[in-house]
Amino acid sequence: MSDGGDAMPELAELEARKKMSERELNEAMQMLQIVRDPSVDWNDKKKTVDTVIEKRAAAGRELERLEKQGQELAAAILAKQQTLVRIGREAMELSLCRGEIDEMIELTRKAIATNNNAMQQVHFGGSM
């Protein structure tokens, strides 16, 4: 979700999933009523129970798939976090190096200025 354009399709997808879940819930309630209804033939009840078992197995497989996907995402997030920590450390090291380099540049400038003053005194015999 880097910009607002990504949010709308994701919201639409979530709404579609919600409607599908509501539809499946209604179907499950109808199946439950078929199984509970004493006037429904045993073969119809058996078919309904078989359908419920198949749906439950499919839901179990989907849950396993989602759990695996969650583990993969968690591993990817951890890897990215470790990369960010490494980059942060490198940035700190570079910042420290920059500070040391700035200090060395300042000391070099002072040494050059001192050396130039000494050379001028030697060259002009201290008459400046």
Cα–Cα distance, 71 to 87 (Å, whole number): 24
Q: What is the pLDDT of residue 72?
A: 95
Q: What is the pTM of this model?
A: 0.51
Q: pLDDT tens digits, residue range 65-102?
A: 999 999 999 999 999 999 999 999 999 999 889 889 99
Which has more confidence, 127 or 121? 121
CB-based contacts of 35: which residues, under 8 Å, 6+ apart?
A: 45, 48, 49, 52
